[in-house]
Structure 1
Amino acid sequence: MRALPEKPWFMAASFASLIAGFLLISSFLRLGGDRNLLCSVAGPPATGSSVELLTSAVLHYATSSVTPQQSRSEIRISYSVLRARSPCNFLVFGLGHDSLMWQSFNPGGTTVFLEEDPKWVQSVLRDAPSLHAHTVRYPTKLKEADDLLTSWRSEPACDPARAALKGNTQCRLALAGLPNEIYEKEWDLIMIDAPRGYFAEAPGRMGAIYSAALMARNRKGAGPTDVFLHDVDRKVEKAFAAEFLCKKHLVEGKGRLWHFRIPAVPGNETTASSGGGFC
Structure 2
Amino acid sequence: MPPEVLHFRPLLPPLVQLSSPVTTQPQENQPSGHKVSQETKRMGLTKRELIPILVLILSVVSVIRLLSIIVSTSSSSHGSSGLYPGTQHRSFTLNAPETGSSKKPRRPPRVTTLTKKEFRVLSNLIAQKVPCNILIFGFHSQYLTLSSLNADGSTIFLEDDPHKISKVRFTSNNTRIYRTEYNMSAKDAYELLKEARQNSACAPTNPKMLRKSKCKLALKNLPAEVYEKNWDVVVVDGPNGDSPESPGRMAPIYTASVLARAANVSNVVVHDVDRTIEKWFSWEFLCDENLLHSKGKLWHFRINHFHSTRFCTDGTQTKQKNHSARDRDSKTSSRDLKSQ
Query: Post-superposition shift, 1:270?
Result: 2.4
- Report whether the alignment pairs 1:213 with 2:262: no
- Give the gaps of 5 or more residues in structure 1: 1-66
Matched residue, 2:79: none
Matched residue, 2:193: 149
Q: Alpha-carbon deviations, 1:195-229, whole Å to 9, x = none?
A: 1111112111100100111111232xx4x111110
Matched residue, 1:69: 113
Matched residue, 2:235: 191
Query: Post-superposition shift, 1:82?
Result: 1.1
Contact preservation (8 Å) 2:267, 2:302: yes
Partner Cα separation in structure 2 for residue 179 and residue 275 of structure 1: 34
Counterpart among 130, 139, 157 of residue 183 in structure 2 = 139
Q: Alpha-carbon deviations, 1:236-268, whole Å to 9, x = none?
A: 0011100001011111111110110111423xx
Secondary structure at the residue paired with 1:167?
Answer: helix
Contact preservation (8 Å) 1:68, 1:97: no
- Report whether the alignment pairs 1:96 with 2:137: no
Partner Cα separation in structure 2 for residue 161 and residue 72 of structure 1: 36
Counterpart among 138, 142, 151 of residue 107 in structure 1 = 151
Matched residue, 1:176: 220
Contact preservation (8 Å) 1:95, 1:124: no
Give me the TM-score of the superposition, normalised by structure 2: 0.55
Query: Post-superposition shift, 1:98?
Result: 1.4
Q: What is the number of equivalent residue pairs in this alignment? A: 203
Secondary structure at the residue paired with 2:219?
Answer: coil
Matched residue, 1:228: 269
Query: Post-superposition shift, 1:124?
Result: 2.8
Secondary structure at the residue paired with 1:166?
Answer: helix
Partner Cα separation in structure 1 for residue 309 and residue 199 of structure 2: 16
For 1:8-157, list aligned pairs within 5 A.
69-125=113-169, 128=170, 130=172, 131-157=175-201
- Report whether the alignment pairs 1:244 with 2:285: yes
Matched residue, 2:6: none
Q: Classify 1:68/1:106 alpha carbon distance in 2 versus 1 (closer, same or farther; 3 Å).
A: farther
Partner Cα separation in structure 1 for residue 273 and residue 139 of structure 2: 18
Partner Cα separation in structure 1 for residue 181 and residue 310 of structure 2: 31
Matched residue, 1:262: 303
Q: CA RMSD in A?
A: 2.5
Secondary structure at the residue paired with 2:302?
Answer: strand
- Give, as a single letter, the amino acid of the residue that structure 2 aligns with 1:109: G
Decide which structure has the larger Cα Rg and report it.
2
Matched residue, 1:27: none
Contact preservation (8 Å) 1:165, 1:175: no
Contact preservation (8 Å) 2:203, 2:310: no
Higher RCO, Cα 8 Å, sep 6+? 1
- Give the gaps of 5 or more residues in structure 2: 1-110, 316-322, 324-340
Give me the TM-score of the superposition, normalised by structure 1: 0.67
Partner Cα separation in structure 2 for residue 85 and residue 117 of structure 1: 29
Partner Cα separation in structure 2 for residue 186 and residue 134 of structure 1: 18
Q: Alpha-carbon deviations, 1:48-92, whole Å to 9, x = none?
A: xxxxxxxxxxxxxxxxxxx98101110111111111110000001
